[in-house]
Structure 1
Amino acid sequence: MQRFILHKFQNFLFAAAFLSGLISCRKDLSLDQRAENQDLLNKDEAKEWIARNFTDTTGQPKKLSAKEDTAKNKSLDVPWDRYTVTRTTEGSYGLIGLDGQPGQYRYQTGYRKLLITKDHRNSVAAYILEILPDGLYLQRKGKPSRKDFYGRIFFYDQHYQLVKGYLYTNGKVAGEIQPSAQKSKQQKQDIRVDRTPVTEYCSWNEDNYVNAKGELVVYAERNCTYTSNSDGMGNAGSIPPSGDYTGSGGGSGGSSDSAPPVSDLPDENKPKIDPAAYMKCFGTLPDAGSKMTITVYVEEPAPGLPFNLGPNSVGHTAIGLTKTYKGQSITQVVGFYPDASGKDKMHAPSKILDNTDLEYNVSITYSVIASDFSKIAAFISRPPATYDLTEYNCTSFAYNACLAGGIKLPDPIGNMGMGTEGMMPAALGGSIRKVGLAGDTNVKGGTVAKTHGPCN
């Protein structure tokens, strides 16, 4: 049993190691071409092997699917001018960028490569790789890098049948994808994820993606965190970076052009305001005898979308302050936003907007004393200078503003993507719903009334 666990773990280390060749910058082939290096997989040998093994009995190129009657069946077109080879202490492998892009949630964000391996025993094997970077990671990075890659790599044989795959977080293997025991006869496969680690903390999730042939692949994966941080090839050591490739699909290695669009943020196109001028209005009413409340409003993201992948996939959290004295009431509802557009919104200078007419799904209200009300107003008057989608966003702002006045909101922490957790409207909204009758909550939603506006 221990030997089996060790074998499985080494298999993961191998997958982590050759990731460098999939997403690293282009480098010229500079290997020593000495005659004694019989294990170096040169281009001619690779071409001969592919021609021999990727053809049928008639000598024609094999189809990339077992279904011969589909229009999507095409022979494997290998652009050999993109071929690069990388040596390892176990042998060598060649990589070639292929045309065609896999995608997820309506966006084609992945790329393909042909992997050909050769070991010291001159045993050669090949897989078609579909590399699918995590959407949030690709948006922020623009182009994947070896050291911090987040995403999935799927291995297909020459018939385009899924063989295995790996899940990566921060450049390290975090899970293994394997086909289920029963293969689907339709353009769909169930995949289970399994790994026997040294020490693990795992969670199960089900997801899907569209491969480069346009077929839906449904899979379940076990996303794990491990005590081991090794990123080598077992006893073979690390595999050095190899080239990336030109052209579409895997040729570019994933560019900023292929990153999915970022979410639109509710009310983001409104003009920015001076929060201090808004908070100044509360000074027109005396503290003594006034009733003061804080309300947090949450517009939840559209259901079924991953965080920040497509329209309204983030949502919004706003904070409202109300002060009432003898029938006279002042309400200001504001939100924290990036002062930028496009992918620049993910990390940008901040701005405060008036959230009048915000359509929210849930809200929660707290009564506070004058001193705590003033602390919250002071926090809003001087907001943090920088907005970051995952590190400090609208939910972070509302949470910390409340905290300044001694209010601790329900748990706002949620899963933003592979290996990323943070404060987010969806998580806060869900936690507010769980509070139910235990707090002053509104789970039916509504529209924020017109705010008072600035005071000079």
Structure 2
Amino acid sequence: MKSKIKITVLFLFLLGACQKEPIGDTIPTQNATDKITLTLSEAKNFISSIYQDSSKALTKIKIDWQLAESEPMRAGNKWTILLQGQPTYQNYKQGYRKLVIFRNSESQKIVAKILEIIPDAIYLQKNRIASASDFTGRVFAYDLNYKLTGGRLYSGGKPVGLIKQFTEEGQIEEANKMLKDVNPYSGIQGKVMLMMAIETCEWIQDSYIDAEGDFTVHSTKICSTTYFDGGGDGGFYDGVGSTGNSSDSVGGGGGGGSTGTSSAPPPSNLPQEDKNPVNPKEMMECFSNISSPNAAFVVRVYVVEPQPGTSFNVGANSFGHVAISLTKSSGAESITQTIGYYPTGTGLDKLSSKSQIIDNGFDSYNMSSTYYISGESFQKVIDFVSNPNKNYHFTDYNCSAFVYGAGQAAGIPIPNPTTQIGLSGPGGAGYAMTPAGMASALREQKANNPNMDLNQAGGKIPESKGPCNIK
């Protein structure tokens, strides 16, 4: 069955001069004493009354009322029930969905929505559980016929953007072009939801597959890190991190159609992470076998770029790798050692664990840069890599930081590989030194210095000499 297409837009708005009016179609803020309660019986009766008549989505969804939880809103309360099914984001099933039932504070009519909640992968990997107080991620809101009605982008528990859809016919040609560029499927038909730009900002295209299997394309509008006021939505989007499960749940959403939670997205595999570790001091000791007078000293940086289209640290090789190679030559003698910095942990424990050094000789790479240095600088690199940091952290100190640190210690112009990670746009998950950042920095370095020795054709790293006995 062909999936339906929805193209939506994610707006990040500025305060001050750029915004003097409330954002979007929000409900006016209610007085704290104006409480409009909704009983569980009323919620059940409401769903029963529309179940067969107006809701196409609910006829396919099993509601387990035993999972119903009452949560406070700014005016009254809402009932939330975890539903089966998971969204698919960045080619990985993650997040969860809920049925939310509440009473409109103005009309006092009962309203129901389906929320699809996708925590930011890095946020979830770090915290292992999503909570409303610091939630970072996306919340998509659908009516009971699974038509997207809006949503929110959150960072640190604060709303930083809106998700809205538009259907202005004037943009049909542009929308169809975007659909052609973004859609990885073929032969898909359905309604096209168009996006409208309000101000000049940078747009980043993104997509996910909702829990009903509909491929949804949206754009993230990056303008500012300023938070906007959540407005008077009566707390409709609050509590997005609640999963209604035991303390060992992680908020990742129910896998395989269940309403229980699953683990956070597994960390990316690291190229060659399964190879046996080596002693870096023994690797570096080999260079003493070549006399230093008249020797030539070379340091190379090898980059394995992440798989295109993947999210940072979610999916196979979505992280990538950076290795450092040292070569000392004199006459016919030459020794090369290539090493990389890795965690010792497995699964989610690899995010933060003790470190290890692995021989990256004869591995494949996408890009390499070459630096010709003095014997003094070469020795400083040896000293640095022989005594690596004992603790690995996937964002705070990883393979990219290790290689950059070696360059800093020896005065080698290896560029800073820092780049934004996680949630796109203002309030993103943060910044880190990454292999993707190293590749980008090297390309920029080449653009500023055409004589730089940068190989972008890739290939195989020369085989390392291997460990030598320390005298």
Verify: 1:132 aligned to 2:118, yes or no.
yes
State how 1:266-305 maps to structure 2 within 5 Å: 266-305=271-310
Structure 1 partner of 2:452 = 439
Q: Distance in 1 between matches of 2:192 and 2:78?
A: 28
Is 1:306 the counterpart of 2:311 in the alignment?
yes
| CA deviation string 1:355-393 (max 9, x = no partner) | 111101111111111221111111101101111111211
Instruction: From the superposition, tell whether residues 173 and 191 of structure 1 become closer, same or farther in structure 2 (CA, over 3 Å).
Output: farther
Match of 2:440 in 1: 430
Go from structure 1 to structure 2 and tell me whether the alpha carbon gap of 1:217 and 1:172 turns closer, same or farther (over 3 Å shift): same
Give the Cα separation in 1 of the matches to 2:266 and 2:193: 28
Shift of 1:92: 2.0
Q: Partners in 1 of 2:259 and 2:27 — Cα distance?
A: 22
Aligned residue for 1:402, secondary structure, equals helix
TM-score between both structures, scaled by the size of structure 1: 0.81
Partner of 1:450: 463
Aligned-residue Cα RMSD (Å) equals 3.5
Which one has more relative contact order, counting CA pairs under 8 Å at least 6 apart?
Answer: 2
Q: How many residues align?
A: 418
Q: Does the Cα contact within 8 Å between 1:298 and 1:360 map onto a contact in 2?
A: yes
1:45 aligns with 2:42: yes
SS of 1:399's partner is: helix
Rate the CA distance shift 1:241–1:263 in 2: closer, same or farther, 3 A: closer
Inter-partner Cα distance in structure 1 for 2:190 and 2:76:
35
* 1:311 Cα offset (Å): 1.2
User: Does the alignment pair 1:394 with 2:387?
Assistant: no
CA contact (8 A) 1:188 1:215 kept: no
Gaps of 5+ in 2: 1-15, 170-175, 177-187, 247-252
Q: Is the 8 A contact 1:323 1:329 kept in 2?
A: yes
Partner residue of 2:346?
A: 341
Q: Using a 3 Å threshold, how does the CA distance of structure 1 residues 452 and 249 change in structure 2: closer, same or farther? A: closer
Structure 1 CA distance for aligned equivalents of residues 298 and 198 of structure 2: 51
Aligned-residue identity in percent: 35
Counterpart CA distance in 2 for 1:292 and 1:400 is 18
Gaps of 5+ in 1: 15-35, 65-72
Separation in structure 2 between the aligned mates of residue 2 and residue 47 of structure 1, nearest angstrom? 46
**Secondary structure in structure 2 of the residue aligned to 1:74:** helix
Instruction: Name the aligned partner's letter for residue 267 of structure 1.
Output: Q
One-letter amino acid matched to 2:100: L
- Which position in structure 2 is the counterpart of 1:19? none
Superposition TM-score, scaled by structure 2 size? 0.79
Q: Shift of the alpha carbon at 1:139?
A: 2.7
Decide which of 367, 382, 387 is 2:387's aligned counterpart.
Answer: 382
Partner residue of 1:180 out of 144, 166, 172: 166
Aligned-partner Cα distance in 1 for 2:27–2:458? 47
Residues 338 and 350 of structure 1 are in contact (CA less than 8 Å); yes or no, is this contact kept in structure 2? yes
Q: Find the partner of 2:80 among 95, 101, 109.
A: 95
Task: Tell whether 2:203 aligns with 1:204.
Answer: yes
After TM superposition, the structure 1 stretch with the greater mean CA deviation from structure 2, 285-294 or 266-275, is 285-294
Whole-angstrom CA distance in 2 between matches of 1:153 and 1:375: 49
Task: Tell me, in whole angstroms, the C-alpha distance in 1 between the residues paired with 2:28 and 2:387.
Answer: 48
In the alignment, the residues of structure 1 paired with residue 269 and residue 79 of structure 2 have an alpha-carbon distance, to the nearest angstrom, of 41
Deviation of residue 210 (structure 1)? 0.7
